[in-house]
Amino acid sequence: MDLSKIEKIWNQYLLCDCKKHTTIHSLERKKLYDNFKIEERIDSDISEIYINEIAKFSASPNCLEIINSIYHAQKECKKIILNGHEAKTIDDKICFLKSSKAYHLFDESFTDQVDSILDDPMGPPLSDIIKKKFDLGLITTSMLKDNISNSLGINWSTNFDNIKNDLDNNIDIDKIRDKLGLDVMSMYGQDDYAFLIVYNSSKVKKKFICPTVLHAGSFHAFQPSKNGSVTGFTIDLSTGEKGYPEFVHKGIDDSKNSVIDIIKIGKLTKDPSIFYLESKYASK
């Protein structure tokens, strides 16, 4: 990977004048650049496509335009990168964690069941209505399972047994969220509900891939894995250490018959940790 080109783009990104970017956003951008520097899994032909696509669309010092260029590059490389380094050790049961705001994972009929006032244009947003139903205990795991969409998009997953062991050892949901590197406060913040979608790896027809910076894009809470590793690893937001094994695969086309269980594991009591960002980058 040509780091000189990446560095030029990233310096532009780090120094851009964008009022919305707070100190935390600055730390995130530093982590993003570090991710590119230590990535080992990207073949030169793929990285060249990616860099060239970013260069095309990042002539402006505007933060948003550079972020958009990263996503455009991802789109251009998507078909290539999903044929990347295969993850070798996948358990029978795998899972990913979602929040009560992820209602796009479910059939439209589910939102109709949940919402009785969607016709009111001045009513609360659907995410608030769903959260209220969770608060009242009116959304069950069986209801979620019965209404899951039959076609799920690209999934970032981990081995279920790792999370089950933590749950059995009374590790709370906030810590599990942090160990999964789920830092998006608007999705996994305080008072949101989190649940696990557990499915059978044998039902996934496409191969499992060790994720790279090309998969992660502008998502900073990601730790590139070394060549030779059989999976990627999440980054624990609260410590900066390795979290759970991590792999990515193309979507499941038969979700209704693939999902084994949906486990509701509770209400998040605090926002995602930013310790790993502050401890590593605040003094730089």
* pLDDT tens by residue, 243-277: 999 998 877 767 777 788 999 889 999 999 988 88
* pLDDT tens by residue, 145-177: 888 887 777 788 999 999 999 999 999 999 999
According to DSSP, the β-strands at 232-235 and 193-200 are unpaired
Predicted structure pTM score: 0.84
